[in-house]
Copies of this chain bind each other. A is one copy, B any other.
Amino acid sequence: MLKLSTRYRYGLRILVSLADNGDCYSSIKHLCDSQELTVKYIESIIAILNKKGMVISKRGALGGYKLSKPADAITLKEVQETLNESVFFLECIEKPETCTDRSNSCPSRLLWLAVKARIDEILESLTIKDLCEASRLADIETIIASRIQSP
């Protein structure tokens, strides 16, 4: 439980690479050189991003992928939703029909609503551009602190 999928981890790395590459098209092969992944596996991940319109593709020689919008317009929440569409953090919240009547006296539900709210707060406040910067600075806490207001 609460395991981070490699699909999302790699997806983020791919998007960060594309962002660093600016307006050029990066081929999967090129993305592979910097990452230790197979062409086929990256392909399957980027295919999802492509179908959702997060990247623009160009076929044939000199083709590849680039971001479909500025890196600071892509939130990490958006990426998560794209890459893990059918998986629900908490079914009884996202699909109420699964566990209707327990509602607000269910301790698990209350706890995870609270946890999820905090995760989402971070994922919504950060963008791919922030990740690029965090990677350069080797620090993300400062960026988060500047985004999220303390109550």
Residues of A within 8 A of B (CB): 1-5, 7-10, 12-13, 16, 76, 80, 84, 87-90, 104-108, 110-115, 118-119, 122-123, 126, 131-132, 134-136, 138-141, 144-145, 150-151
Contact = CB atoms under 8 A, between A and B. Distances in A.
B12 A108 contact: yes
Contacts of A87: 1-3
How many identical subunits does the complex contain? 2
A84 B150 CA distance: 31
Given A2-B4, A110-B135, 4 more contacts: A12-B107, A13-B107, A110-B131, A119-B119
A112 B13 contact: no
Which secondary structure dominates where chain A touches chain B? helix
Nearest to A5: B1
Contacts of A90: 4
Nearest to A88: B3
B108 A4 contact: yes
B108 A8 contact: yes
A17 B9 CA distance: 38
A80 B111 CA distance: 12
B145 A9 contact: no
Contact of A4 (B89, B106, B114, B132): B89
